[in-house]
Structure 1
Amino acid sequence: MSDLLHSFVVPAYGRSPHLRDCLDSLRRQSLPSRLFIATSTPYDGLAEVAREYGATLAVHAPNTGIGRDWNHALAQADTPWLTVAHQDDIYLPEFTRRTLDAAAARPDAALLFTGYAELLADSDAVRDATAMLRIKRLLLELAFLGRDAVARPGAKLRALRFGCPIPCPAVTLARRSPPFRFREDLRVNLDWDAWVRYAREPGAFVYIRESLMLHRIHPGSETSAGVRDGVRAAEDQMMFDSLWPKPIARTLAQAYRLSYAGAER
């Protein structure tokens, strides 16, 4: 397959100590892709890093939040398929090849995603079977029922009604016209909201069950900050309200809040 089929776009925020590891994993893919770095917080040396890895650097302003950063990153890609690669994460060598093979096998695909494992920031230990990962995989199996792809809106939404088991950094999107945009008023659930909107439109969701990337877990993430300051709870309530009648939505949101409280203790 041509390397022009796919792009990795990396929204680089601040000076991540893991950016080089991420870029190195993208360069080591068995099937090459175009590589872009987008940032609203440039720093001395970032342009040199981009040149070292053969990436196109795009700087934008002002810095108004994660949604704008992701949208600016998406706007850089001009290939049929694109992945928003999180700067702290690692992509295993077959990620691109397996994703594009799955896209070729399913011409109606709009969104593809792989399995993933967790990478602990403090020790670099890899976890592939935590309770949360098992729950997410169960939610996906309830939607896909052993299939590799689902196209009916009801089946796609079924994967998202109890939370967001589709891992944002493992997602590859079909490039669209007009371009797809994440909501810029959300801080935590902008990916969950995006996949719900995708689910309600034509196009199949394709699930590649193999773990082909490592998602780094650390307390400095936007998700962790959102839990601490209450943003996560408010955005969870908003999402459940969009998917369920009010009484069920309140019950699910409360269960989520209790799970966060338990994790913080």
Structure 2
Amino acid sequence: MVSHTFAICAYKQSPYLEECICSLTAQTVKSNIIIATSTPNDYIKALAEKYHLSLYINQGESGIAQDWNFAYRQAKTDYVTIAHQDDYYQPEYLENILNGLKCAKDPIIAFSDYGELRNGQKVDRNQLLTIKRILLLPLRIKGLWKSVRARRLCLSLGNPVCCPSTTYVKKKFPEEPFQVKYASNVDWMMLERASKYKGEFCYVTKVSMYHRIHEESTTSEIIGNNARGQEDYEMFCRFWPKGIAKIIARVYGTSEKSNNI
């Protein structure tokens, strides 16, 4: 067993939680698996007991960043993947990530390409996925993994990295990785900050997990409430002058529609 933990963030009673757990127990490389939640209930407890997983209850402040940070803190291993309860991981996900990490001398994070789960069907290609892969083209060159300029270029037109596909190197994030500020761009903010770190972003180009798109997901809820536009604009201002950032944010907002069923 490698020094790695899958920390599953469970919320309320997701009908997909058990499928996520099963995809993690089926990994070709065995790892630690834990569940963290700020909404404890009999459903989550029963699944934790069924699969003999440690269950941690966040009794402090809750929210996306707070819950992810809580789950991260419970992992005591060198590497941590914050798994989202609705998503599915290919059996080779961790094996692919570890191979990516081995290719780096000083890794910060490792993340994989991903597909989407829509109405129970795996989707490997659509307009949004294609755009994200184009944005990540510089990081297909391993020699650019350590380039701050290349990493920031990839992030400057949107967030092309799927958050649940990301594995964190604990020594690079000894404190909490996520800042409590945004409702939707928690991971993009983390990546923007980490892009300035000394080290490497390891990009695994194989589709190694699937992100589920459904009406009750947090992303769909945020988009439905139109809470994302201002956050996007503020993120683009980290890369561009305000006038350009406003134009990019307006165009970027149209892509959010594809996160709804």
Q: TM-score range by the shorter chain?
A: over 0.9
Match of 1:243, SS? coil
User: Which residue of structure 1 lines up, in the alignment, with residue 56 of structure 2?
Assistant: 58
Contact 1:149 1:207 in 2 (8 A): no
User: Which residue of structure 2 lines up, in the alignment, with residue 247 of structure 1?
Assistant: 243
Residues matched between the structures, number: 260
User: Which residue of structure 1 lines up, in the alignment, with residue 81 of structure 2?
Assistant: 83
Deviation sequence 1:109-158 (CA, Å, 0-9, x none): 111111111111xx3111111000000000000x2254375112111111
- Give me the TM-score of the superposition, normalised by structure 1: 0.92
What is the correspondence of 1:1-265 to structure 2 with a 5 Å cutoff?
A: 3-62=1-60, 64-120=62-118, 123-141=119-137, 143-144=138-139, 146-147=141-142, 150-176=145-171, 178-260=174-256
More deviation in 132-141 or 218-227? Answer: 218-227
Gaps of 5+ in 1: none
**CA-CA distance at 1:252 after TM superposition:** 0.4
- Give me the TM-score of the superposition, normalised by structure 2: 0.94
Contact 1:187 1:222 in 2 (8 A): no
Gaps of 5+ in 2: none
Q: CA RMSD in A?
A: 1.9
More deviation in 42-51 or 214-223? Answer: 42-51
Contact 1:193 1:239 in 2 (8 A): yes
In the aligned structure 1, how far is the partner of 2:110 from the partner of 2:258? 32
**CA-CA distance at 1:39 after TM superposition:** 0.4
Deviation sequence 1:239-262 (CA, Å, 0-9, x none): 001111111101101112344469
Contact 2:128 2:258 in 1 (8 A): no
Match of 1:193, SS? helix
In the aligned structure 2, how far is the partner of 1:94 from the partner of 1:20? 19
**CA-CA distance at 1:263 after TM superposition:** 7.9
**CA-CA distance at 1:172 after TM superposition:** 0.6
Contact 2:140 2:205 in 1 (8 A): no
Contact 2:214 2:260 in 1 (8 A): no
In the aligned structure 1, how far is the partner of 2:121 from the partner of 2:12? 24
Deviation sequence 1:48-92 (CA, Å, 0-9, x none): 311222321000124531111101000011111110111000111
**CA-CA distance at 1:190 after TM superposition:** 0.3
